[in-house]
Amino acid sequence: MASKLLRAVILGPPGSGKGTVCQRIAKNFGLQHLSSGVFLRQNIRSNTDVGVLAKQYLEQGQLVPDHLITRVMLTELEKMQNQHWLLDGFPRTLAQAEAINKICDIDLVISLNIPFETLKDRLNTRWIHPPSGRVYNLEFNPPLVHGIDDVTGEKLIQHEDDKPDAVVSRLRQYKDVAKPVIELYKSRGVLHTFSGTETNKIWPYIYTLLSTKITPVHPEDTSQAFRAEEQ
């Protein structure tokens, strides 16, 4: 097995279960989970130059522009030169993917392909704790107390763009922006797509793929999950 450092990316629309998959990959394989959302929040809380600018865009309901998010992420990647890592939420656009390409080669891209109706249902029941980014789903990952964050006891909110009217346009927008990024990584032979409606059923296949690239630090018995899938 190669000893070179693994550079991985996870792609998927809002509600696709990226966060759950990233947590499992980080735990089982020891990859550093690098979330663009987490780094943006850190910059905003710390009032960095990038954070101040990013906050202005977000307060106006706009996406943070490519050049700002790229600056944040490339700064973080410079600190991770001697570690395996997994990018989450970046690259979101072709310009961002090309910016990464200038500093390193991506070895593996995991793309989550979840049916539109499943995404819609998940987003409509999703609630968030804004300061930490913790996500709850009323159907399969509810908070212990309805509307309250498990850790801090603070109130949860539902994003405006998770409400039914906004979800459809949000998912269409993601599809349009993601398509060229997916095509780029497909053309390079590093794209692996996983389809399904349940993260627990997709996970064993992702685990098996990653096991061919890097030795698990916490090996997991996925045979039971595969047997359940076959029944």
> Binding site residues, as ranges?
15-20, 36, 41, 62-64, 89-92, 96, 126, 135-136, 170, 199
Question: How many alpha carbons lie under 13 Å from residue 72 in its C-beta half-sphere?
Answer: 28
Q: Which residues are annotated as a binding site for a ribonucleoside 5'-triphosphate?
A: 15-20, 126, 135-136, 199
Q: Which residues are annotated as a binding site for AMP?
A: 36, 41, 62-64, 89-92, 96, 170
**β-pairing, 126-129 with 134-137?**
antiparallel
Copy the structure tokens of residue 169. 């346009």
Peptide bond into 131 cis (omega under 30): no
- Distance between CA atoms of 38 and 54, rounded to whole angstroms? 13
126 close to 170: Cβ distance less than 8 angstroms: no
Question: What is residue 87's three-state secondary structure?
Answer: strand
DSSP-derived letter for residue 70 is H
Residue type, 215: T
DSSP-derived letter for residue 63 is P
